[in-house]
Amino acid sequence: MGELWNPLDTATADTAEDWIQGLSHNRGAPAEILIDLFDLLPRTMLRFSMLHREDLPAAVRDFAINHPDRRTRLLAAEAGRLSPRQWDHLTASFDDEATRGLVADMRDEHCRPPSDRRCSIDFPKPPEAVPPSSPAEIAEWAARVPDISPDARTYCPWWIAELHDDPEAMRQLAASPNLKIRRSVARAKHLPPDVLERLAQDEDRVVRLFLTESCDDTPAEVLVEVWGWWPGSFSYPGRPRDHPNFPKTGLLHYADDPNPRMRLLAVYDPAADNALIDRLAADPDPQVQYEAIADPRVSVAVLAKELLGERFARAAAANPALPVPVMRRMIDVARRAGLPR
């Protein structure tokens, strides 16, 4: 395995606990390593976090649904991402009808097709109501929408949501001085190019944020600008970086940007070499450091050092370039350290 890894045997229990959490999200860890982690993860929520991984090997989910601990099997149901066979097996593993019913409800919830709605509605649509159709009607309805302050939460009027597929209506409403209306237009899945250009230059940055989260046509420059100040949300996970128009390459020039969120983009560029990743692994910003240390292009020397560091042992343990024998050694050290505590 090499002398480089021998100092791992001196790790404290706190460091070993960071390793276990990092390994649970390591994309390079094979199923047998992840299965070994179940009894070392110290808290229920950490098991759930691992089970919630989209890329978790099927063998690990099979282990979870057959786990002797009832809570772990319920966590597997709550995390979802199970095949029909796994759902059937999991449901049958419980003896009482109440729990079987609970698992069936979770199955229905996870198997329900996701909604394509891009915005939250302020008030439900009244029965039998229809949205306005002519420009005059749209103007009349828009005049009744109360304006909001820039720091207010925004909920889309139901009738604007129903007009999202009407280019002329979006064009008319995008020109409104009413901030709530412009933000509601920005929630459309698609917008005409001229409407998109207008909203992309809106003085209200939440309009640009909503374009980033909801509109599939938003141009790359808006997405990158929003990335610079928006860390993301649970409502729209992954945006703006997983937007189809977000640039995947040509990001290395951000490596020296004064904004740490922009420097992160250099880590994500596949053209970044080992030297740049090592440099960013020593960045003054902790998030940039974390992402660089967790990147498989970081040097082995940096990786071995950070596994025993006080701040980024978890990031190093999540690095998919870690050799599997080293992962096994880390698990052995964690057991000797008395985990779980």
Look at residue 127 and tell me if it is in a domain: no
Look at residue 123 and tell me if it is in a domain: no
Q: What is the pLDDT of residues 314-328, one digit of tens each?
A: 999 999 999 999 999
Do 202 and 296 lie in one domain? The reply is no
Predicted confidence at residue 341, as pLDDT, reads 65
Predicted confidence at residue 122, as pLDDT, reads 86
Q: What's the CA gap between 225 and 216, in Å, rounded?
A: 16
Look at residue 235 and tell me if it is in a domain: no
Predicted confidence at residue 1, as pLDDT, reads 61
Look at residue 83 and tell me if it is in a domain: yes
Look at residue 155 and tell me if it is in a domain: yes
| Domains held by the chain: number | 2
Do 209 and 165 lie in one domain? The reply is yes
Q: What's the CA gap between 163 and 329, in Å, rounded?
A: 59
Do 143 and 91 lie in one domain? The reply is no
Contacting residues for 321 by C-beta, under 8 A, at least 6 apart: 28, 296, 297, 298, 300, 303
SS3 content of the chain, % helix, strand, coil (to 5): 55, 0, 45
Contacting residues for 3 by C-beta, under 8 A, at least 6 apart: none
Do 325 and 268 lie in one domain? The reply is yes
Predicted confidence at residue 118, as pLDDT, reads 64
Do 146 and 110 lie in one domain? The reply is no
Contact 192, 171 (CB under 8 A): yes
Mean pLDDT in runs of 10 for the chain (341 residues)?
88 95 97 94 82 95 95 94 96 96 95 74 90 97 97 95 97 98 97 97 97 96 97 91 97 98 98 98 98 98 96 98 97 91 65
Look at residue 297 and tell me if it is in a domain: yes
Structural domain ending residue among the three candidates 163, 187, 214? 214
Q: What's the CA gap between 56 and 24, in Å, rounded?
A: 10
Look at residue 238 and tell me if it is in a domain: no
Do 7 and 73 lie in one domain? The reply is yes
- In the numeric block, which tokens belong to residue 259? 């904004």
Does the CA dihedral 305-306-308-309 come out positive or negative? positive
Do 268 and 296 lie in one domain? The reply is yes
Do 256 and 307 lie in one domain? The reply is yes
Nearest partner of 65 among 35, 40, 41, judged by Cα: 35
Category of 81 on φ-ψ map: left (φ > 0), alpha (ψ -120 to 50) or beta? left
Q: What's the CA gap between 29 and 329, in Å, rounded?
A: 13
Q: What's the CA gap between 111 and 146, in Å, rounded?
A: 38
User: 311 by DSSP, 3-state: which?
Assistant: coil
Predicted confidence at residue 116, as pLDDT, reads 61
Q: What's the CA gap between 160 and 170, in Å, rounded?
A: 8
C-alpha distance from residue 63 to each of 69, 89, 330 (Å): 11, 12, 21
Q: What is the pLDDT of residues 216-272, one digit of tens each?
A: 999 999 999 999 999 999 889 899 999 999 999 999 999 999 999 999 999 999 999
Paired strand residues for 121: 156
- In the numeric block, which tokens belong to residue 251? 């990001």
Predicted confidence at residue 165, as pLDDT, reads 96
Give the count of beta carbons closer than 10 Å to the beta carbon of residue 274. 13
Domain containing 151 equals 135-214
Look at residue 121 and tell me if it is in a domain: no
- In the numeric block, which tokens belong to residue 221? 């420059």
- Mean residue pLDDT of the chain comes to 95
Rounded to 5°, angle at Cα 25 from 24 and 26: 95
Give the count of beta carbons closer than 10 Å to the beta carbon of residue 308. 15
Do 109 and 145 lie in one domain? The reply is no
Predicted confidence at residue 115, as pLDDT, reads 64
Q: What is the pLDDT of residues 77-88, one digit of tens each?
A: 999 999 999 999
Do 46 and 103 lie in one domain? The reply is yes
Do 109 and 14 lie in one domain? The reply is yes
Contact 47, 40 (CB under 8 A): no
Do 108 and 9 lie in one domain? The reply is yes
| Structural Rg of the chain based on CA atoms | 25
Nearest partner of 116 among 163, 179, 161, judged by Cα: 161
Predicted confidence at residue 35, as pLDDT, reads 96
Contact 320, 27 (CB under 8 A): yes
> Residue 222: CA atoms inside 13 Å, Cβ hemisphere, count?
29
